[in-house]
Structure 1
Amino acid sequence: MSIVALPARAKQFRRPRFAQRGWVSRYALPTLTALLFPALLLTLWQVAASREWMPPQILPAPLYTLQTGIDLLRDGELSDALSISLLRLAVGFVSGASLGMAAGLLFALSRRADEWIGPTVRAVCLVPSLGWLPFFMLIFGIGETLKFILIAKTCFLPLMIGSYNAARTMPQKYRDVARVLELTFWQRLRIIYFPALAPALFTAARLALSKGWKALILVEMIASAAGIGYLMTWGRKAFQLDVVFITMLVIGLIGWLIDYLALRLERRLIHWNGETQS
């Protein structure tokens, strides 16, 4: 009995070590790998600033830039600008994503709507957002409505294309189930179509968020008096490049965080969808 029980005890004794190795390989190593290139850039930045390869007015030192970021946080300027930008992104994304998903499903489920309205909508959406900016400024001015509409227009196209392609390629068995159960149109959308299209819609929403964030920064740099993009433009006009570097860093980190959170939710959603189909 003791000889048989010995391997089991040895396996139980080694299990925490394997678990620790698994945690290191899953979390620690990818994190260190991702931070390696930024650390090299930071080192190069410090060397260039200390040896004055460029004037300090153009390339401030990293510690000086960090102190500027701390001052902006302490004064509340950075947090206020970021909260304004995130609110604009949320309102524009919800509006544009909802309309885009509705249009995509309409064109996918109605052949007449796809033939009559679809080409015009696609042609209008394929014009870059910056191309519509002068026209929107003449109509809506440079207030908050301009930001919301430009972000909504940017987020509209990915959701329209994603929902359209997902509905067109949806397996026929889902439609057969809806026909057998004699579901109404809204019951089909709620019970069958939306759960089946959820992974594709979530992928399109992730793309729309990234495009909407970039469009927001551009419109804030051009026609705005508040927001993180305006703060970066103000730093450039005041020739305070430390403010410009801080806002660039914040914009990149927030954009990465938005994409990372959306990716995590997307993976969880796709995993759930695979379990239900299996």
Structure 2
Amino acid sequence: MSDVTFKTSVSIAETPFDRVADKGVRGLLASAPHLSGWLGKVALGLVVPFALLAFWSYAVHQEWLAEQILPDPRLVYETTTDLIATGQLPGELLVSLGRVAAGLAVGGGLGLLFGLAFGLFRPLDIYVAPTVRAICLVPSLGWLPFFMLVFGIGEALKIILIAKTCFLPLMVSAYEGIRSRPRKYDDVARALELPWLVRVRLVVWPSILPAILTGVRQALSRGWKVLILVEMISSAAGLGYLMMWGRKAFQLDVVFATMIVIGIVGWVLDYALTKFQHRTTGWSFKTAA
């Protein structure tokens, strides 16, 4: 009887379920240091926002400014949740994201082509590039009066201004990537007698991709800021329009809610591009290190 009991206990202890559970526990214990490190980074990143929130609440409690100027954080939170629940805030956000995506595609694409052309063809760099740079160095808002006369105040005005803002970072990044890439890559391409198009696709493009992705981040950041300004000036939709509407209606809680959303969305976009850059061109960071 005791032998039967011993064999039964051994068979129960060695079931496949227990082996899987044991592996799961070991995997959880192995990932615990990484999880704790990630949680530590998140906690440190939340220190400053929570400190600002505490200072904001204290300033409201002490009545340093009138409630019409500095609303209570709880009121801003309630307003934000109401705007999300009614669908107004997501709708305005989608409009703004669509505009910045269109401007980045048009302006960034043209900037990339111009940068590659200036970097690959010396005559264009000497005779054409200085004029293009001089035009681009005029601030986007400086072109606003002229663009309003030419294109009106419709959707085209916003896309063109965002495109103009996104043009220069991509042009400069592509040009600098071409001019600063290691010359040994060209030597290898010439030794292999690669055709010009194959050389661009297999040698030039991978070597300048890290610089281009950095330019995309800069272009998106600048385009996002210009978008909000343009929407505040002339628009009937978008986050900038919602912010301006809140100011005109003396609803500063709407203004603060929109400001917070603009900051969070901008940070998320930049963070996503940074992760994509590290995943796509991680070899460049290892080489630099």
TM-score by length of 1: 0.89
| TM-aligned CA deviation for residue 17 of structure 1 | 5.0
| TM-aligned CA deviation for residue 196 of structure 1 | 1.3
Q: 1:166 aligns with which of 174, 177, 197?
A: 177
Whole-angstrom CA distance in 1 between matches of 2:112 and 2:131: 17
One-letter code aligned to 1:22: H
User: 1:61 maps to which residue?
Assistant: 72
Task: Indicate yes or no: 2:281 matched with 1:270.
Answer: yes
One-letter code aligned to 1:222: I
- Superposition RMSD in Å: 2.1
Task: Indicate yes or no: 2:274 matched with 1:254.
Answer: no
Secondary structure (helix, strand or coil) at the match of 1:127 reads: coil
Matches within 5 A, 1:11-160: 17=29, 19-25=31-37, 27-160=38-171
Task: Indicate yes or no: 2:267 matched with 1:232.
Answer: no
* Residues 167-176 or 31-40, more deviating: 167-176
| TM-aligned CA deviation for residue 198 of structure 1 | 0.7
| TM-aligned CA deviation for residue 183 of structure 1 | 3.5
Whole-angstrom CA distance in 2 between matches of 1:145 and 1:79: 22
One-letter code aligned to 1:148: I
| Structure 2: gaps of 5 or more residues | 1-24
Task: Indicate yes or no: 2:213 matched with 1:202.
Answer: yes
Secondary structure (helix, strand or coil) at the match of 1:52 reads: coil
Would the alpha carbon gap of residues 31 and 275 (structure 1) be closer, same or farther in structure 2, given more than 3 Å must change?
A: closer
| TM-aligned CA deviation for residue 178 of structure 1 | 3.0
Secondary structure (helix, strand or coil) at the match of 1:171 reads: coil
Whole-angstrom CA distance in 2 between matches of 1:16 and 1:145: 53
One-letter code aligned to 2:272: L
1:186-220 per-residue CA deviation (whole Å, 9 max, x = no partner) reads: 32222221111111111111111111111111111
| TM-aligned CA deviation for residue 167 of structure 1 | 0.5
| TM-aligned CA deviation for residue 18 of structure 1 | 6.2
1:43-64 per-residue CA deviation (whole Å, 9 max, x = no partner) reads: 1222222332322211111111
Whole-angstrom CA distance in 2 between matches of 1:46 and 1:101: 46
Whole-angstrom CA distance in 2 between matches of 1:274 and 1:180: 27
Task: Indicate yes or no: 2:223 matched with 1:212.
Answer: yes
Whole-angstrom CA distance in 2 between matches of 1:149 and 1:241: 30
Q: 1:185 aligns with which of 196, 199, 206?
A: 196
* Residues 192-201 or 250-259, more deviating: 192-201
One-letter code aligned to 2:237: A
* Residues 221-230 or 40-49, more deviating: 40-49
Whole-angstrom CA distance in 1 between matches of 2:43 and 2:60: 25
Whole-angstrom CA distance in 1 between matches of 2:216 and 2:185: 23
State percent identity of aligned pairs: 52
Whole-angstrom CA distance in 1 between matches of 2:154 and 2:193: 48
One-letter code aligned to 1:192: V
Whole-angstrom CA distance in 2 between matches of 1:21 and 1:191: 40
Whole-angstrom CA distance in 2 between matches of 1:82 and 1:14: 44
Whole-angstrom CA distance in 2 between matches of 1:88 and 1:39: 32
Whole-angstrom CA distance in 2 between matches of 1:116 and 1:28: 54
Whole-angstrom CA distance in 2 between matches of 1:179 and 1:40: 58
One-letter code aligned to 2:154: G
1:110-161 per-residue CA deviation (whole Å, 9 max, x = no partner) reads: 1111111111000000111111111111111111111111111111111111
One-letter code aligned to 1:68: T
Q: Which 4+ stretches in 1 moved above 4 angstroms?
A: 13-18, 273-277
| TM-aligned CA deviation for residue 275 of structure 1 | 7.1
